[in-house]
Chains A and B, each alone.
Chain A
Amino acid sequence: MFEEIKKKYQEMFGNEKLPYLKCTRCGHSFYYPRDYCPKCRSRELEVRESRGVGSVFSMTKFRDRDNKEIYYGIVELEEGFRMYANFIVPVEIGDMVRVKFLGKESKVPFFEKI
C-alpha cells in the first residue's frame, strides 16, 4: 500500500500532476505519503490531484556552490496541504504560485509565480 502510494505519486509527477492524500473518513488532506491517516488512523485514503495552485507560506534564498541563487520554501496549496519546494523565480510570503514540473526522466514539482 505504502509503496503503491509512492508509485502513484511518481506516475502523477511523470504526467505533470501534483498528488496529495485525502482521508475519506475524517477529511484530512496531506502531502507526505503515509498509508494511514495520521489524524484518525483510517486506511481509507485517496490519492487525489491538486490544482497545483497555492500561496507562499514562507521562503528563503541562498547561493549554491556555483553561486546560483536558490529559492526554497513552503507552499500552501488550495486543497489545504503544505509542502516543501523550490521556486523557479524569487517570491515573497503570500504570493500566489502554480506548480511547474522540471526534470526529464524523473520530474519534480517546482513552483512559479502566477
Chain B
Amino acid sequence: MIVGFSSSIHKKYEGSTFQLLAETVSKALDMATIDLKDIDGIFYTVLPGVFDGKASLHFSSFQIPSFLGIKPKVIELVEYGGPSALTMVYRAEKLIEVGEINTALCVVGGKASFLRENKVTVDAVDRFLGNVQLTPYDDLFRVYQDLNPVSDYALVAKRHSKLFGTSDEQRALIAVMQRKNALGNERAMYKTPLTVKDVLESRVVSDPLRLLEIVYPVDGFHVFVVSKHQRKSDLRPLKVEFYGESHWSEMPPELPDIVYTPAVESSNGVNLERIDAFQLYDSFTITVMLQMEDIGLTEKGKGGEFVERTDITYQGEVPINTGGGSLNVGQPAFMSGGVILEEAILQLNDMATNHQVKDANRVLINGIGGWNRGHSVTMVLGEGNV
C-alpha cells in the first residue's frame, strides 16, 4: 500500500537535480515514518537532459541510490515517460506481495528548465545534446522541421477535427474546466480563471494547438513510498484494483490511425461505473480527449460532444483532472504521471482541500507517454472493497 508521498515543483530550481530529488524523498519518508535503511526496493525513471543537463547518467542505478544513501535489494528503471509512476507503484506492490521486498521508493521527475531555457523539448533533445537517438529512424525524419511533441499532437488534433468535426472550442473547454479545478489546488501553478475565449485567443503554437492547451515543463519530483507495513501512516490502505498496460511501438505514420492511443488496450476490462474520479494524462487538451474516448467514457470521435454536455470539474458528474492536471500544476521533467497519481491519492484520502470530490473511493488514473504516445497504463486505486 502507499504509505507516503510527496512532491516538489518549481518553475526553476536553482540547485542540482540530485538535491531536489533528496528533498522530495525526505518529505515522503517523513510522511511514511520510514528510515532509509528500511527501503529495499527503488524504482525510478530518467530522461536525457533532465538530470542537470546530462545526456545520460552512467549507471543511474548506482548514482541515484548512492546519492540518497539507499542500499536496496531491487533496483528497477521504468522508462515509459508519462505512465512510469503508475507502473512503479504496481510493480512495487507485486514484489511486496510475493515477498521479494518490504518497502519501495518510487521516484519520477527531474529538471526540465535546462532544456526549456535552451529552447528544446525532451523530444528534440538530440538537437541540443550530442549522441542521443530518438528512434531507429532518426536519419530519415530528423531532416524535417517539427516541433515535437507539440507538432505530433497537433497532427492528431487536426485529424481528429477532420474525421469527427471536433472544434477548437470543444478542446478549449477541457482547459477551461481543468482550470476551474486548479483554482482550489494549492499545488497548482496557474490559478486565474480561464474562458474558452482566453484559450482561443492564446497564440497558436502548432496549428490547431494553442499555448493554453499545452503543458509547461517544470523542475520537480514526485516520490511515492509503497510498503507492506502501514506503520504510523494515516493514509487509507489503497490497493491497485485494476492495472493494464499497452505499448504501441509503431512510428505514428505506421499506426492504423493516429487518433487512437494504446489506452484502448490498457483500459480493456475496466469497470467505469464504479469510478468516482478520473486522472487522465494531460500533456495537451487533445491527450485528455483521446483518453476519454479510448478508455470508453464516450465513443471514438465523440469526445468533443462529451465535454460540451458533461461537467468534468471536481463538483461535476464525471470529475476529470480534479486538481487541474499537469496543464495547471506543470509537467516535471516532461513526464507528469506523478501529478495525476498524487492527485488520485489526495482525492482518496480526503486531502484535496478546496477541490475534493465527494465520496471519492475509487479513482482511475491513465498515463500516456514515451516517444509520441507509445505507452499507456491504466490503473484504478481504491481499498479493494467489492
A residues apposed to B, CB below 8 Å: 6, 9, 30-34, 57-62, 64-65, 70, 72-74, 81-86, 93-94, 108
Complex alpha-carbon distance, A108 and B139, angstroms: 11
Residue with the greatest number of chain A CB neighbours at <10 A, chosen from B156, B207, B252, B253: B253
Please tell me if B151 contacts chain A, counting CB pairs below 8 Å: yes
Interface size on B, residues (CB 8 A): 30
Residue with the greatest number of chain B CB neighbours at <10 A, chosen from A9, A57, A85, A86: A57
Complex alpha-carbon distance, A58 and B258, angstroms: 9
| Contact B151–A62 (Cβ < 8 Å) | yes
| Contact B158–A60 (Cβ < 8 Å) | yes
| Contact A84–B147 (Cβ < 8 Å) | no
Please tell me if B162 contacts chain A, counting CB pairs below 8 Å: yes
| Contact B253–A72 (Cβ < 8 Å) | no
| Contact B146–A58 (Cβ < 8 Å) | no
Determine the chain B residues whose CB is within 8 A of the CB of A59 once the complex forms: 155, 158
| Contact B253–A74 (Cβ < 8 Å) | yes
| Contact A73–B254 (Cβ < 8 Å) | no
| Contact B251–A32 (Cβ < 8 Å) | yes
| Contact A58–B159 (Cβ < 8 Å) | yes
| Contact A72–B251 (Cβ < 8 Å) | no
Which chain B residues in 105-148 approach chain A with CB under 8 Å? 119, 136-137, 139-141, 143-147
Contacts A32-B251, A58-B159, A83-B253 given; 8 further ones with Cβ under 8 A?
Answer: A32-B254, A33-B137, A58-B162, A60-B158, A62-B150, A81-B254, A84-B144, A84-B251
Determine the chain A residues whose CB is within 8 A of the CB of B139 once the complex forms: 6
Determine the chain A residues whose CB is within 8 A of the CB of B151 once the complex forms: 60, 62, 72
User: Which 5 residue pairs are nearest across A and B when measured between Cβ atoms?
Assistant: A82-B253, A60-B154, A58-B155, A58-B159, A62-B206
| Contact A57–B159 (Cβ < 8 Å) | yes
| Contact B253–A31 (Cβ < 8 Å) | yes
Residue with the greatest number of chain B CB neighbours at <10 A, chosen from A74, A82, A86: A74
| Contact A57–B253 (Cβ < 8 Å) | yes
Determine the chain B residues whose CB is within 8 A of the CB of A108 once the complex forms: 143-144
Residues 233-259 of chain B: 1 if any A CB is under 8 Å from the residue's CB, otherwise 0?
000000000000000000111100010
Determine the chain A residues whose CB is within 8 A of the CB of B206 once the complex forms: 60-62
| Contact A85–B162 (Cβ < 8 Å) | no
Complex alpha-carbon distance, A94 and B162, angstroms: 10
Please tell me if B68 contacts chain A, counting CB pairs below 8 Å: no
Complex alpha-carbon distance, A72 and B119, angstroms: 19
Complex alpha-carbon distance, A30 and B137, angstroms: 12
Determine the chain A residues whose CB is within 8 A of the CB of B209 once the complex forms: 60
Please tell me if B22 contacts chain A, counting CB pairs below 8 Å: no
| Contact B159–A84 (Cβ < 8 Å) | no
